[in-house]
Amino acid sequence: MSAVPAAAASPAPDGAPSGEAAGGAHAHPPPPGDPATTLDRFLGGRLIIEQPARGAHRAGLDAILLAATVPAGARGLLVDLGAGVGTAGLAAGLRAPDLALHLVERDPATARLARANAARLAAQLAAIGRMAPISVIEIDIAAKASLREAAGLGRESADIVIMNPPYFAPARVRASPAGARAAAHVLPEAAGRPEAAGRVEPGDAGPDAPGPDASGPHRPPRREGEPGGLAVWTRAAAALARPDGRLALIFRGDALGEILAALDGRFGALAIRPIHPRDGMPAHRLLVTGRKGSRAAPTILPGLVLHPPAGSDYLPGADAILRGESGL
């Protein structure tokens, strides 16, 4: 585990669409052999994220929607599993600045960027007198409990766990040849070998794309009872969350059965919010929150529609969320 020091914020491009990367501006030179990075603005410019320009997942809409599920007055410890460069966890920290943050990421290069991003946010919060600690923990989420605890992830220590797992089983999709991008898109084949920090669909279609790579064969999803998959992530979340602790996850819109199966016996009182690209279209994302150990029945919340019938602008309600002006 590494706690991040305060650091001065670097300049970033202006005019980024809310909830999307601005792109085009390079940060400090990356180490030799690393892909170039960009500094991108989120939450109306208040959150600055350094991330790879190519060859790996780029954070966007899903991370900001996930962070918006965190109550603005939340306190205690938030753990972001598979944090990538830290976008969702840091956006949650900006929304609820009294939260301590653990960003959990197994890839060393990605974790290095998460540390830089965390240091930048720590400096912002310190400037307004908020000193809640932010740590980056470099470990595989499926590591043994003893290894997780040694790294700083205490059992039943988290008040809130958030996660954005890979969206696809290996048999369902053609993985990207770029290793970092493939790890972000494809669920683990078996327990003990999870791919950290899942984000968007194959083919790099972006956060609004509706499904699997249309150029590849559509294969059935993983059968219930097969090892690995989303259950690797929910097991880790259940081990880390305190009793009655809160879980929030974002996943594919066509995977409600998979989500319910993975959460069964671990989290209850589920609140399921469909995310629709446009009115009348099927949900392409599901935002799910729950409580550890609860036996309360699930509820379906009103859906969030992102875009008008034509054009790529966000509707006012979605835009307010992506700018950090309201939550979910």
Locate 61 and state its tokens: 């809409």
Angle between helices 108-127 and 87-95 (to 10 degrees): 10
Total-model pTM? 0.75
DSSP, collapsed to helix, strand or coil, labels residue 245 as strand
Q: What is the rounded CA–CA span in Å between residue 250 and residue 63?
A: 8
Locate 128 and state its tokens: 């307004």
pLDDT of residue 3: 56
pLDDT of residue 268: 97
pLDDT of residue 174: 46
pLDDT of the chain along its 328 residues, tens only? 655 543 333 333 333 333 344 333 334 444 544 458 889 999 999 999 999 988 777 888 999 999 999 999 999 999 999 999 999 999 999 999 999 999 999 999 999 999 999 999 999 888 888 878 999 999 999 899 999 999 999 999 999 999 999 975 554 444 444 444 444 444 454 433 333 333 322 222 233 333 332 223 233 333 333 345 899 999 999 999 999 999 999 999 999 999 999 999 999 999 999 999 999 999 999 999 999 999 999 999 999 999 999 999 999 999 999 999 999 9
pLDDT of residue 78: 98
SS3 content of the chain, % helix, strand, coil (to 5): 25, 25, 50
Q: What is the rounded CA–CA span in Å between residue 53 and residue 22?
A: 11
Locate 314 and state its tokens: 């966000």
Could you tell me the CA-to-CA distances from 77 to 102, 161, 224 in Å, in that order?
7, 9, 32
